[in-house]
Amino acid sequence: MLFLGGVDECADRVQLSSGTMAPRATVSGELYEEGARVPQPGWRRLTMAEQKVLIAESCPEHYGKAISVIRVPSQLLESWQSGHLAHSEYQANDKFFPIGGSDNCSKETSAIISYLQQRFQRSEIDEVCALEGGICTKLPGRETITTNPGTGALVGIHVDSWYRRDFGLSRREHAPNRVCVNLGLSDRFFLYLNIPIGEIYELIRNIGSPQENAYGASIVATDFMKSFPYYPVVRVRVRPGEAYVAPTENIAHDASSIDMKAMDITLSIRGRFGLCPR
């Protein structure tokens, strides 16, 4: 489920594709990994029936089973916003980081993290769950943005597995989740399949799949998308100063900078975050 109570709802906030497909091997000079899947082209608005299935009317309690879009207070974004004219000129990391690494932006980033900790971080589970992450920059105009750190190739729609040793496919809803703040100039998109990875595994396990503990989550998701190519992708608009909170260990997902002209700049943190502020 998706909760939009923290932002203004609008007709083009959420859209659907008609399924997934294999990408061209090379897109805008960047390579995709073999077997990657991306949304089929063309997006449409939700029908009323689809809205009832996808959109939550109240804030879901379980952060491992749902997604929300929230807004960061504008006073915490002033330093990033004051540098946006410069950011619009910089589409390479070596030009961006002297600005993004400035004292003002670093202090503001720390203030945003403190705000997220105070208002969203959950600690009801007795465990040590340190916050992990930081500022991330990606090129604009990309249908999907996540790359394999080892090869630099785009991976397409995937499932995170930072905590795979502690959470098997059937327990991914209990894993830490992620909050990702849009610090860029324009709207970006969060893409996902509206089905948890454990259910995906149950759907395809009877077609010769390996046992759960020998099967990577992203491979499960890829096999599902190949077997059910018309299962739709949900696309959620995330405006500058907004963030998504999502169980990225439990759903197949990616982000998109397709409509951006300047760099896609985000603050992304893994931890345990509620879907609405305390």
Length of the chain (residues): 278
Can you tell me whether residue 219 is helix, strand or coil?
Answer: helix
pLDDT tens per residue across span 229-272: 999 999 999 999 999 999 999 999 999 999 998 889 999 999 99
Q: Give the mean model confidence (pLDDT) for residues 14-18.
A: 96
Can you tell me whether residue 97 is helix, strand or coil?
Answer: helix
The number of beta carbons lying within 10 Å of the beta carbon of residue 28 is 11
In this structure, is the dihedral angle defined by the CA atoms of residues 122, 125, 126 and 129, taken in order, positive or negative? Answer: negative
Least confident of 79-83, 145-149, 244-248: 79-83
Say what the pLDDT of residue 203 is.
87
pLDDT tens per residue across span 98-140: 445 556 677 888 899 999 999 999 876 655 566 788 888 888 8
> Are 64 and 250 in contact, with CB atoms under 8 Å apart?
yes
Alpha helices per DSSP H over 154-240? 197-204, 217-227
Q: Which residues contact 51 (CB under 8 A, 6 or more apart)?
A: none
Q: Could you give phi then psi for residue 243, rounded to 5 degrees? A: -145, 155
Least confident of 45-59, 66-80, 116-130: 116-130
Q: How many CA atoms lie within 13 A of 107 on its CB side?
A: 6
Alpha helices per DSSP H over the chain? 48-54, 78-82, 84-87, 93-100, 103-119, 197-204, 217-227
* pLDDT at 54 exceeding the cut of 90: yes
Say what the pLDDT of residue 101 is.
52
Say what the pLDDT of residue 98 is.
44
pLDDT tens per residue across span 59-71: 998 999 999 999 9
pLDDT tens per residue across span 188-230: 999 999 999 999 998 887 665 555 554 689 999 999 999 999 9
Say what the pLDDT of residue 132 is.
84
Question: How many whole angstroms from its chain centre is CA 84?
Answer: 22
* pLDDT at 173 exceeding the cut of 70: yes
* pLDDT at 21 exceeding the cut of 70: yes
Say what the pLDDT of residue 194 is.
97
| Tokens found for residue 226 | 């190949």
Say what the pLDDT of residue 91 is.
54
Task: Return d(Cα 248, Cα 37) in angstroms, integer.
Answer: 17
* pLDDT at 163 exceeding the cut of 50: yes
State the DSSP code for 170: G
> Are 252 and 158 in contact, with CB atoms under 8 Å apart?
yes
Q: How many CA atoms lie within 13 A of 193 on its CB side?
A: 31
> Are 247 and 66 in contact, with CB atoms under 8 Å apart?
yes
Q: Give the mean model confidence (pLDDT) for residues 69-79.
A: 89
